[in-house]
A and B are shown apart, each in its own frame.
Chain A
Amino acid sequence: MAKKRKQTEEVVKRDLLKEVGEGIKKYFTDFGTAVNKGDWGTRASLIVMGAGFIARKQFAKGILITLVQIMYFIVFAVYSVPYLTKFGTLGTVQMEQTFDPVTMQQTTNNYDNSFLILIHSMISLFLLVVFVMYYIHNMKAAYKVEKDAWAGRHVNNILEDIADMVGKKFYISLLTLPTIGIVLMNILPILVLVAIAFTNYDQNHMPPASLFTWVGFDNFKALISSGGMTITFGYAFRKVLGWTLVWAVLATFTNFIGGIVLAVLINSKGVKLKKMWRSLFVIAIAVPQFVTLILVRNFFRDDGIVNTLCANAGITDFFKSIGLLGANMNFIPFLTSKGWAKVMIVLINIWVGIPYQMLIATGVLMNAPQDQLESARIDGASHTQIFWKITVPYILVVQGPALITDFVRNINNFNVIYLLTQDVYTTTDQMLANSNAKEVDLLVTWLFRLTNEYYNYKMASVIGIIVFIICVLFTLVSYSKLMAGGREEDYQI
């Protein structure tokens, strides 16, 4: 059974690769076919993009497409060219300002702004790629129209096309806005950020006053080679990466299991006022997380309210007597000593995170396979057995992808760590301190301090790329393991 599963899996993988390869090949051969086999009208589209449609008497469409082409050429010449010509150097003219004390006027030379050059070049390149793709597509479309006309099939006129856009192809109209949004908000900024990893954009090279330029893989080398960004970088990197992974595992699974247990408890038959209990927990979600976290941080300070309560209630003394606290400590270092802080962070994270998981688990539990639960009960399985043998595997399969997402999110869980420890936790590990790190830092919080205080944008991009790679690798591996052989089918009804 297992072997067969593995085989199918491999077949699926090979098919996928093959499909992608063939898709790419087809994309270009179709274009070649259109150029080779098309008639004069279609071929004229190589120069005037609307020609193919005009030859088929689709004048409006042909003119519109030609207009788009002309517009792009103008944009390219007026907007793209000035930036793209400087893209190789990211600018050469440094800003110079002179102030005339007599007229009190400032004159500034016509300087290059590396950052603007980078951004606008990226946009220009992006537009170029979009245009080339559109150009290729247009060629194929012209050829298709040619064939349609030749075979006597109906060819849409522009009005019919427009009608389609609000009719049966309405989804395209609907998706236009989100697509623009994704391009503007996600793709372009990410491209710019990736590009910055290959420049020397930092505090000593800050536009507009100074220029930055390309440095190839130097930043990556600096990160990997001994020393890195700080003198104890390798040591700090290992420590921080270790705690990041431990934290991600702990945070993900404590919340996951806690949420399920809570959901099962509230769902179980004896519990009264189910809705009230659920609402009580959901209220915790309603308060913005950063408010909660900062409040909690203040509660647990060395001289905070919790410590006062503990001292008054004798808990501090009790901890002292069982050796959890040093003899000269008159407070519990909830967020100020290494061990306590790590435990507290995980506990506080459980408290702020469980309600979400409880809601999800409640939903999942309501759809649990009743027939299996029923038959298990008839067969005389105990509650614990049912929980571990049926409920948990079922939830694991249904929520597997969500778990992986949670894990990745926790690797980058800036809020909880930063808000709970910033300005409170001071490391006593001097090796870490020399790299501006703390025992409780995640890669992101460490990155934030390293780069934000020194405007080290280039290294921020490099570490960002590396964190991204770690997350991608983890996600790919765990998805393929979790989804191996389509285990979810075992639980489909």
Chain B
Amino acid sequence: MKKRAIALAMSAIMMTATMAACTSQETPPAAGAPTEAAPENNTGAEPTEAEVVEVAKADDSAVGNLIAATTDTVKLVVWASEEDQELTQDLINKFEAQYPEVKFDIQLGACSESTAKDNVLSDPTAAADVFAFADDQINDLVNAGALQEVAAAYTYDVSKENVAGSVAAATVNGKVYAYPMTADNGYFLYYNKSVFSEDDIKSLDKMVEVAGAADTQIGFELANAWYLFGFFSAQGTDLYARLAADGVTNECNWNEGVGVDIANAILGYVDTGVFVKAADDASAVSNMKDGKYAAIVNGTWSAAAISEALGDDYGAAKLPTFTAGDKEYQMSSFAGYKLIGVNPHSAYVGWSMLLAEYLTNEESQVARFEARGLGPANIKAASSETVKADPAIAAIAAQAEYATPQRIGGNFWDPAKSLGEILGNGNPDGTDVQTLLDNAVEGINAPVSAN
């Protein structure tokens, strides 16, 4: 008995050494996992009235100072999405070649822009030095101290060379926290030209009529708060769903004014059997390819698949108008951007900032468009003829005018999704529409647990 206790104590004491060695790598208990919300890409802010902040241009000698001060190997980790690996590796190689006097060891990891927040926040000190993310995550990242402020620009003017909306999307409380990378992370209309003419797609009423006659359907992910937003926050409705001043809770008034009209309009469209609730992105796109749907609402990430399947019949345009009550409204959308951020816990913040600048400069954004068809945030890159000729990017540019920044708290998604599901099913229980909206708004505006 005695010996056993000694053995226990010995092992406990040996354990001390092991623990002391490994505790610095402890991670918080519940690690991140994919969040609910929009499809793979969420969206961001269009600069309707947001004031665009300028990033000071730093002294030219700064980079020289940094090179002189760097004696050891610069070890960086970069996270880019799975699809972006090859391109990003190319860009990293070019970046390294720019500074032959410095030794780099830059590792590239795969992490989707849509889940970057989860991976970064599970332990910011262990996360990548430079990472790509969708702009809807910027608030949480800044709150958690996981984004380095872009205090100065070194190789190009971050705030002037990118479209104003993208800079606004990278700005929190008057400070720029990230480098705009793409400006195409919203949604618009894909349609089949063999079914619809260019005039048909201007109004949803006409589309439903034409599609009905052609015995096809129009797919819309009603049970997805991200898309449903397009109906309720349509132009001229005075309805909104946005982040409140506290940066955590929401302000939503979908149950006021013409909200009921819009809900009834959706029910009316669903009732035709032509305008249907698509289950999710994958099924919307596959039904579009099969010809079951003649039109869907989706984003640029599906452009390649749809254009390949439809060939000459492939069309993309801004979202149509729809009729609610007796008025016609232009459907709105969330606008979104992908950004590159620098981790303030990086051991080489200076180099990380230079790399982030390089990955988002004009040349890199052009390369990104050419390799992946992603719409550039850089003004010059976006105005090139080839970019403009891309139907999907032209469509998102046309929709941009009606798009709204995606600044919305977590409580928005589930209640709005449930509302969309009920409307998409044609309100089977016959609940009073005003009650449906009241319930949804109550959930969306609910306080976030305090203390």
Contact = CB atoms under 8 A, between A and B. Distances in A.
B7 A104 contact: no
B9 A68 contact: yes
A173 B7 CA distance: 7
A192 B23 CA distance: 13
A426 B280 contact: no
Interface in B32-47: 32-33, 35-36
B3 A164 contact: yes
A48 interface: no
Contact of B415 (A106, A203, A430, A456): A430
A257 interface: no
B15 A183 contact: yes
Interface in B46-88: 56, 58-59, 61-63, 65-66, 69
Contacts of B449: 202, 222, 228-230, 456, 459
B13 to A, nearest CB: 6
A208 B124 contact: yes
Contacts of B345: 208
B14 A180 contact: yes
Contacts, number: 226
A104 B6 CA distance: 54
Interface residues of A, number: 94
Contacts of A189: 29
Interface string A450-491: 011111110111000000000000000000000000000000
B11 interface: yes
Given A180-B11, A215-B451, A231-B443, A428 B421 contact: yes
Interface string A227-254: 0111110000000000000000000000
Nearest to B424: A426
Contact of B145 (A79, A120, A208): A208
Nearest to B409: A454
A215 B449 CA distance: 14
Nearest to B56: A101
B8 to A, nearest CB: 7
Contacts of B121: 206, 455
B12 A130 contact: yes
Interface stretch (B148-156, B162-170, B186-194, B371-379): B148-156
B233 to A, nearest CB: 19
A172 B4 contact: yes
Nearest to A326: B428
B5 interface: yes
B359 interface: no
A97 B344 contact: yes
Interface string A80-121: 000000000000000101010111111000000001100110
Nearest to B423: A428
A395 interface: no
Nearest to A72: B13
Contacts of B145: 95, 97, 206, 208-210
B265 interface: no
B15 A180 contact: yes
A99 B3 contact: no
A429 B428 CA distance: 12
A133 interface: yes
B353 interface: yes
A72 B143 CA distance: 40
B29 A196 contact: yes
Contact of B279 (A165, A175, A302): A302
A134 B417 contact: no
A433 B417 contact: yes
Contacts of B351: 104
A434 B26 contact: no
Nearest to B154: A104
Contact of A231 (B3, B140, B154, B446): B446
Contacts of B110: none
Interface in A421-442: 423-424, 426-436
A101 B151 contact: yes
B446 A434 contact: yes
A172 B4 CA distance: 6
A104 B29 contact: no
Nearest to A207: B28
Contact of B33 (A201, A431, A452): A452
A328 B426 contact: yes
Contacts of B12: 127, 130, 134, 180, 183
Contacts of B26: 115-116, 119
Interface string B151-183: 110100000000000000000000000000000
B287 interface: yes
B128 interface: no
Nearest to A423: B280
A20 B11 CA distance: 26
B3 A172 contact: yes
Contacts of B263: none
A131 B15 CA distance: 12
With most chain B CB atoms within 10 A of its CB, the pick from A105, A140, A326, A451 is A105
Given A193-B29, A428-B418, A452-B32, A99 B349 contact: yes
A127 B442 contact: no
Contacts of A130: 8-9, 12-13
A436 B16 contact: no
Given A430-B440, A460-B30, A203 B59 contact: no
Contacts of B2: 137, 140-141, 144
A45 interface: no
B436 interface: yes
B223 interface: yes
Contact of A123 (B23, B146, B273, B447): B23
Given A180-B14, A302-B279, A451-B30, A433 B4 contact: no
A375 B404 CA distance: 81
A210 B146 CA distance: 11
Contacts of B451: 200, 215, 218-219, 222
A93 B346 CA distance: 20
Interface string A58-88: 0000000000100110010001000000000
A331 B400 CA distance: 36
B20 A79 contact: yes
A71 B56 contact: no
B414 A433 contact: yes
A161 interface: yes
Nearest to B271: A328
B316 interface: no
A176 interface: yes
Given A79-B20, A231-B443, A102 B58 contact: yes
A433 B423 CA distance: 14
A104 B350 contact: yes
A428 to B, nearest CB: 5
Given A99-B151, A123-B16, 9 more contacts: A99-B344, A101-B151, A103-B65, A116-B26, A137-B6, A176-B8, A303-B287, A326-B428, A427-B421
Interface of B: 2-16, 18-20, 23-24, 26, 28-30, 32-33, 35-36, 56, 58-59, 61-63, 65-66, 69, 121, 124-125, 140, 143-146, 148-149, 151-152, 154, 223, 248, 273, 279-280, 283, 287, 344-346, 349-351, 353, 410, 414-415, 417-422, 425-426, 428-429, 436, 439-440, 442-443, 446-449, 451
16 contacts: A97-B145, A99-B349, A103-B69, A104-B349, A119-B23, A137-B2, A137-B5, A164-B3, A165-B3, A172-B3, A176-B11, A184-B18, A200-B451, A208-B125, A231-B442, A423-B280
Interface of A: 68, 71-72, 75, 79, 95, 97, 99, 101-106, 115-116, 119-120, 123, 127, 130-131, 133-134, 137, 140-141, 144, 161, 164-165, 169, 172-173, 175-176, 179-180, 183-184, 189, 192-193, 196, 200-204, 206-210, 215, 218-219, 222, 228-232, 301-303, 326, 328, 336, 423-424, 426-436, 448-449, 451-457, 459-461
Q: Which 10 A-B pairs have the closest CB atoms?
A: A209-B145, A104-B350, A434-B443, A433-B418, A430-B439, A101-B152, A134-B9, A106-B349, A426-B421, A130-B12
